Amino acid sequence: MSARAALSRERIVAAAVQVADRGGLAQVSMRNVGRELGVEAMSLYHHLGGKDDLLDGLADWIFARIRLPALDDPWRAAMAGRAASARDTLARHPWSLGLVESRRTPVPSLLRHHDTVLGCLRRNGFSPALAAHAFSAIDAYVYGFVLTELNLPFDSPGGAEEMVDEMQSLLPADEYPHLVELIQEQVVGREYSYGDEFEYGLELVLDALTDRLAQRREE
């Protein structure tokens, strides 16, 4: 079977994922993806409309890998599980952060994702407006957390303490008392990992949504 006959949209998108994982979204082009597959770029146009279609395929690929709840699942556990899955997926593919919410084409996985999340919230008593607020707040938290986590100047628990050691001379306690207190209480000697903050912060968001849902039910 020829290389051209073996091509498919799914295989091309998978190759684009490999290109993006290695070099970022800027490296994703029809030429580079063709090279990844060992074919000429023009061969890809038998399966894709062009680069925009390829980027839509990447967005679809990402959303398809975020775990979705069932419509009748209890909303809090469902949203926590989806948020954890989204964090994991986005962190493994950092290029997706700037892509997934920027596509104007309504790709199937994106539509299914949004409809399922909203449906789960609606079946658990959220009004359309409160469901939209919940969806927005949770995703803003997840995306922001992943962006911060990926850009921290250390990548291991030991790295955090090593960075603090280097900063000690820049943090006189009389000038920055609260920052020094935080470092001493939370970082030094505690194998601090910023990633451990994710669940705590998510619980704060979910607690606030629980209160809002209770208020709605009392109205």
Model pLDDT, residue 153:
67
Each domain of the chain, given as residue ranges in start order, spans: 3-49, 69-156+193-218
HSE-CB at 103 with a 13 A cutoff on CA atoms is 24
Residue 179 confidence (pLDDT) = 73
**CATH number attached to the domain at 3-49:** 1.10.10.60
pLDDT per residue over 169-186, tens digit each?
A: 667 777 778 777 777 776
What is the number of helices (H) and of strands (E) in the chain?
10, 0
Q: Are 109 and 64 in contact (CB under 8 A)?
A: yes
Class of domain 69-156+193-218 as given by CATH = mainly alpha
Tokens 């680069």: give the residue.
51
Residue 157: predicted pLDDT:
52
Residues 79-107 pLDDT 10s:
999 999 999 999 999 999 989 878 888 88
- Reported as a pLDDT band with limits 50, 70 and 90, residue 3 is very low
pTM (2 d.p.): 0.84
The least confident of 37-41, 111-115, 158-162 is 158-162
Q: What is the mean pLDDT of residues 124-129?
A: 96
